[in-house]
A and B are shown apart, each in its own frame.
Chain A
Amino acid sequence: MIKLLSQRLLGPVTLLALAATLWMGLVVTPPDKVQGDLARLVYVHPALAWVALYLSFGTATIASGLYLWKRTRSMVMDRVAHSAMEVSLVFIVLTLITGSIWGRPTWGVWWAWDARLTSTAILGVLALGYLALRRANDDPTLRARRSAVLAILAAINVPIIHFSVQWWKTLHQGATVFTASRTLLIHGSMAWTLLLSFVAFTMLFFWLLRARYRLEVQRERTSGQSLRDALEERRREGAF
């Protein structure tokens, strides 16, 4: 009962949380002292990156690891990894686009080849490569194993992206929330709205992941049914 209720409510609650973020970000919060209204992108861009790098890519990596581990190996893990990686790719692209939109008026350029931006672009390419590798393999077991290995190798880039602003000198700003000193560098209603955006986009991730997973199950079921139908048809032909 609770499971069914949570499944039914996830979509509407996610939309409500996103709408609340939009309202807080555009109407309630004040402009920033230096960036003015441009700072309102802080309620979108970091939350997108959070979903892209940590939630989606993290889920894909953990599910891939569980697939490779014999005791937990199942096609469920492969499906979860695949679904999460697709969501991750969408969010990486959105992160790069919103970052670029923010960068033009603040930095003065759409793109800079600094360590944070370059490593994030590399993660996008790796996610794309993961999906291409899946298309290159027809055998489900082989496909699952090879893509799981690639997902785990690609995940090495995630901590590099995270710490890039600390390890090297970048044009991209340092951390506002996950600072080394654990000091939040954003205040008042701006901080609460930032927190709300993280919650809203986290819910959006779970909603999308669930929808993509169900779609994958449906696709497999349909392709299996088509094969069974074709075999049945051939048997009937042979009977005449």
Chain B
Amino acid sequence: MTSTEAPLDLTPVEPPSSPSRSRWRSLGVVAVLALAVLALLSQGLLHSLNYFKTVDEVLANRASVGDSVIRLEGVVKPDTITRTSSGASFILAGSGSNQVSVIARGTPPQLFQANIPVVVVGHFTTRASSVFDGTQILVKHTASYIAQHPSRVQAPNGTTR
């Protein structure tokens, strides 16, 4: 070594990580991962795996539902939609003659219309009431995709030609 060269850097360096350090770090990652998954599960699935109850299910178990907050699913019955100053009122149909009268607050989603399946968040006004007080409407669109034909005209009876 010549006198002009810089002195050797003898600062101790970090030793390579040992297997036990690796193990602890891995365990830490797995623990955080498990907590994150549990947090997501508790938000989404632990209360109920099913996102909603159908009109048929609710009417079949009307007494047990009471006036608790639920998500109610059904199809919007044609010619029953009335826009109100606070939202909309309509009839939600299940199978057969099962139906529930809904008074919903807030602006419905842009796809909200007759004959479309929707999920309404809310509760029955009283424990024995048949009127459902909705705070939110969610449109549940189907899995079918059918092309729109703007050139076709709609007959007064609702059919297209």
Residue ranges of A at the interface with B (Cβ–Cβ < 8 Å): 29-36, 38-39, 42, 105-109, 112-115, 117-119, 121-122, 125-126, 129, 132-133, 136-139, 142, 146, 150, 167-171, 173-176, 179, 185-190, 237, 240
Contact = CB atoms under 8 A, between A and B. Distances in A.
Contacts of A186: 144-145
A140 to B, nearest CB: 11
Nearest to A134: B29
B143 A173 contact: yes
Contact of A142 (B22, B45, B73, B138): B22
Contacts of A189: 147
A113 B145 contact: no
A129 B33 contact: yes
Contacts of B110: 105
B16 A122 contact: no
B43 interface: yes
**CB-CB nearest 4 A-B residue pairs:** A118-B44, A108-B109, A129-B33, A113-B44
Contacts, number: 147
A113 B71 CA distance: 12
Contacts of B111: 34-35, 38, 105-106
Interface residues on B, range: 35 or more
B53 to A, nearest CB: 8
9 contacts: A31-B147, A34-B142, A35-B141, A105-B110, A122-B41, A171-B138, A173-B141, A175-B143, A187-B146
A33 B52 contact: no
B31 to A, nearest CB: 10
Contacts of B45: 113, 115, 118-119
B147 A32 contact: yes
Given A113-B44, A122-B41, A125-B40, A108 B50 contact: no
A139 B25 CA distance: 12
B151 to A, nearest CB: 11
Contact of A30 (B22, B73, B149): B149
Given A107-B141, A113-B51, A122-B41, 5 more contacts: A32-B147, A34-B111, A118-B41, A133-B26, A176-B145
